[in-house]
Amino acid sequence: MKARIIKILTALLIIGIVITGATLAFRSAEKKATNIITIGSIDITLTEPLWDAATNAGAELPVVYPGVSFDKDPTVKNVGSAGAYIRINLDYKITPHAPEGEDPLPARLLDPANAEDLEIINIIRGTFMYRDETDTYVHGVNPDFELREDGKYYCKTVLNPGEEQILFSKLLFPSDWTAEETEKLGDAFSVIVKAEAIQSDGFEDYVNPDTGEAMSALDRAWEVYNTYVFIRPGD
């Protein structure tokens, strides 16, 4: 299978949590890796247009406390010349509370296989809001994405050249959050966003002749990606 695959990494750092109120910070870094056999052009960008527009205009960073919301819109756009399947992975870090008078504690990556960490991840996921076609904000993410057992959000449709998909539109910190919930988030948390893409051309729905197991074109594409894509250290 000829394929060209792009990986892009962007880090979204959300600094300061609800108890004392704080601000939000953002930084980004881009990494790409491709295999050497290519067909067409697969390329994607990962941006936050609303957030960028606000910060570039000199707007103050939002204060984080119960009931506040702010625009955060991770957006993947196909800037290549061929259709692509995309998926988005979110990793989460928290900075635990440090006892009074002691040095700040280092941030740690949350492990979804750990029940306590998964509970914190679900608290963070609970802040996601998506603006639908009627301009109404609803809880959760874009319904075109499916959260799977591997923790990644898979877009269920092909992203054609020039098209884009938004995972969620804003974060809303519930006004009924309890002190216990905010305590679990520590002094700060971060959401690290990584988008991946693989060509959609050449993949079809498939039935294994030996087992009779059906596999969609989308699943077949990601199976190939997972099997054959190797990322160099540092990419």
- The span from the CA of 221 to the CA of 85, in Å, is 8
Query: DSSP code of 89?
Result: E
Residue 160 lies in a domain: yes
Residue 32 lies in a domain: yes
Using the Cα atoms of residue 126, residue 9, residue 136 and residue 84 in order, give the sign of their dihedral. Answer: negative
Q: Which two tokens stand for residue 181?
A: 């919930």
Residue 213 lies in a domain: no
pLDDT the model gives residue 36:
37
State how many domains the chain has. Answer: 1
Pairing of strands 206-207, 214-215: antiparallel
**55 φ, ψ to 5°?**
-75, -35
- The span from the CA of 71 to the CA of 170, in Å, is 4
pLDDT the model gives residue 169:
92
Q: What is the domain extent for residue 25?
A: 5-203
Residue 215 lies in a domain: no
Q: In what order do the strands lie in the sheet with 164-166?
A: 44-47, 75-78, 164-166
Residue 42 lies in a domain: yes
**pTM summary value:** 0.77
List b or e across 183-210, with b for residues whose CB sees 16 or more CB atoms inside 10 angstroms: ebbbbbbbbebbbbbbbbebbeeeeeee
Residue 221 lies in a domain: no
pLDDT the model gives residue 115:
95
pLDDT the model gives residue 112:
94
- The span from the CA of 18 to the CA of 62, in Å, is 12
Q: Are 40 and 81 in contact (CB under 8 A)?
A: yes
Closest CA to 129 of 68, 87, 176, 58: 68
Residue 135 lies in a domain: yes
pLDDT the model gives residue 230:
52
Which stretches of the chain drop beneath a pLDDT of 50? Answer: 1-39, 231-235
Residue 224 lies in a domain: no
